[in-house]
């Protein structure tokens, strides 16, 4: 029977405690099974060495292969337990400060530790041979480094990505022609899951050399552009309002930042609008785009706006010789209908109103446009047919006679004050058309606004030909 060996007893106690912990409190950890196998193998080999060699002391080299294996098994068991403690308990299963991290560093450190365990086992039992092996391994390492330079390049690239951290696991990235969620990284590749639920494995060295766009930084909000063509007859201001209402009602579209709509191009068949909207769910982008484009179609259709497409529609019609005259007469009648109810023209005969209508024109302004500018020369009267405008004054009433300094007036001029609003059936600019005075205020459209512009020369001609007026 072998003599009492306190080294074996102490090692057995430690191994027993580790096995009890791995079968008890740590059993639910993902890495517990792997650690249990390593510790169990080390414990079983310890018993075999004790029974065979009579002791497990490692004080002096005995050139024992079984004890060399025991040293390696003990080191491997300690490494697996350390991996379990660090990864599952300290790091929290790959989540640090809310960010998922890869196991690449743990794999690399584990590989180096196992290599160190092999060297330690050799030096413990075969110190003379270990020196020769080390010299030989240097030559072998050089040959392997040349043969495995691509593999080593991927390992080094992975470590560079790990320390630089241009992205974390769970981030949405765009690398080369691939876009998707980073699902993991190992010693050779980085895995990206695309919207089609394909897993694309990109080599770490290739990723390290590529331009990486992290769509989760500085935050998850990203813009997407939609392009829609609308028929030319529809005013851009009205079209923008319809498109904005359609897109902002789409699920997944963020209220902040605000959706913006621009006139992008005057194409052959349509005015093309660029719609820039924002979202934060990258998986849902196709669904968001579909929802927005679907709602745009319905909104445009309900508002009588068409989306043209490039076709050749040949229609043979008979155009009367006086078609242009008929259109002009219809336009004059429409303008006459707008001018007739105004108190300013109450004393005019139908013939005179028709003359004014013939010399007038219908003009449309979009929201935010200035119809007239304060201080400009005035030579026309405006009658609002549709929409609304606001009247802004940029100088104190009274000009220089109110005692204000030039600096005060300049400061006030930089902050115009809204003094009135006008709507359909109202007019402005009567002083300019009657006396030719400069504009006393700035008029700004608050919505899509259509006005009838009455020319001063036509009004003056009317006064000359009819003194009664």
Helix, strand, coil abundance in the chain, percent, nearest 5? 45, 20, 30
202 contact partners, CB below 8 Å, separation of at least 6:
175, 176, 178, 189, 190, 191, 192
Query: What integer pLDDT is reported at residue 411 of this predicted model?
Result: 45
220-230 mean pLDDT: 94
* CA–CA dist 273, 225 (Å, integer): 10
How far is C-alpha 302 from the geometric centre of its chain's CA atoms? 30
* CA–CA dist 288, 436 (Å, integer): 55
In this structure, the number of other CB atoms found within 10 A of the CB of residue 405 comes to 9
Answer whether residue 399 shows pLDDT above 70: no
pLDDT in tens, 339-384: 888 877 777 788 888 888 888 888 888 888 889 888 888 888 899 9
Answer whether 158's CB lies under 8 Å from 190's CB: yes
Higher pLDDT, 280 or 316: 280
pTM score: 0.58
Higher pLDDT, 260 or 462: 260
Averaging pLDDT over each range in 124-133, 417-426, 448-457, which range is the top one? 417-426
Query: What integer pLDDT is reported at residue 213 of this predicted model?
Result: 92
pLDDT in tens, 13-65: 677 667 776 666 766 676 677 777 888 887 787 778 777 766 666 666 667 77
The H or E element that residue 105 is part of is helix 104-125
* CA–CA dist 25, 388 (Å, integer): 74
CA dihedral 70, 76, 80, 82 (to 10 degrees): 100
């Amino acid at each position: 029977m072998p003599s009492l060996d306190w080294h074996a007893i102490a090692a057995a106690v430690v191994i027993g405690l580790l096995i009890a912990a791995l079968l008890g409190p740590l059993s639910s950890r993902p890495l517990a099974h792997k650690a249990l196998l390593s510790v169990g193998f080390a414990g079983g080999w310890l018993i075999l060495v004790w029974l065979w060699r009579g002791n497990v002391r490692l004080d002096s080299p005995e050139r024992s292969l079984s004890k060399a294996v025991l040293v390696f098994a003990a080191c491997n068991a300690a490494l697996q337990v350390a991996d379990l403690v660090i990864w599952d308990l300290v790091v929290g299963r790959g989540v640090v400060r809310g960010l998922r991290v890869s196991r690449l560093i743990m794999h690399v450190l584990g590989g180096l530790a196992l290599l160190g365990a092999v060297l330690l086992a050799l030096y413990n039992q075969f110190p003379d041979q270990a020196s020769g092996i080390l010299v030989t391994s240097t030559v072998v390492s050089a040959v392997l480094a040349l043969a495995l330079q691509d593999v080593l390049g991927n390992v080094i690239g992975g470590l560079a990505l790990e320390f630089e951290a241009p992205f974390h696991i769970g981030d949405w990235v765009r690398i080369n022609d691939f876009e998707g969620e980073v699902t993991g990284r190992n010693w050779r590749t980085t895995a990206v899951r695309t919207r089609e639920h394909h897993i694309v494995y990109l080599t770490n060295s290739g990723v390290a050399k590529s331009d990486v766009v992290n769509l989760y930084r500085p935050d998850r909000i990203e813009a997407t552009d939609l392009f829609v063509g609308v028929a030319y007859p529809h005013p851009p201001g009205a079209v923008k309002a319809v498109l904005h209402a359609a897109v902002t009602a789409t699920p997944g579209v963020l209220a902040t930042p605000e959706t913006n709509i621009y006139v992008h191009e005057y194409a052959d068949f349509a005015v093309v609008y660029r719609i820039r909207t924002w979202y934060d769910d990258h998986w849902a982008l196709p669904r968001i785009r579909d929802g927005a484009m679907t709602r745009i179609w319905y909104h445009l259709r309900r508002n009588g706006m068409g989306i043209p497409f490039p076709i050749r529609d040949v229609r043979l019609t008979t155009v009367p010789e006086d078609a242009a005259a008929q259109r002009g007469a219809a336009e004059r009648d429409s303008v006459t209908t707008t001018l007739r109810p105004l108190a300013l023209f109450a004393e005019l005969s139908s013939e005179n109103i028709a003359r004014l209508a013939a010399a007038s024109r219908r003009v449309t302004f979009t929201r935010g446009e200035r119809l007239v500018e304060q201080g400009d020369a005035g030579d026309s009267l405006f009658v609002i047919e549709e929409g609304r405008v606001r009247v802004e004054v940029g100088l104190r009433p009274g000009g220089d006679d109110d005692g204000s300094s030039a600096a005060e007036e300049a400061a006030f001029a930089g902050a115009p004050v809204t003094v009135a609003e006008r709507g359909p059936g109202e007019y402005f600019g009567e002083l300019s058309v009657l006396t030719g005075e400069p504009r006393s205020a700035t008029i700004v459209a608050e919505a899509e606004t259509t006005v009838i512009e009455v020319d001063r020369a036509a009004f003056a001609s009317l006064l000359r030909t009819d003194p009664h007026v």
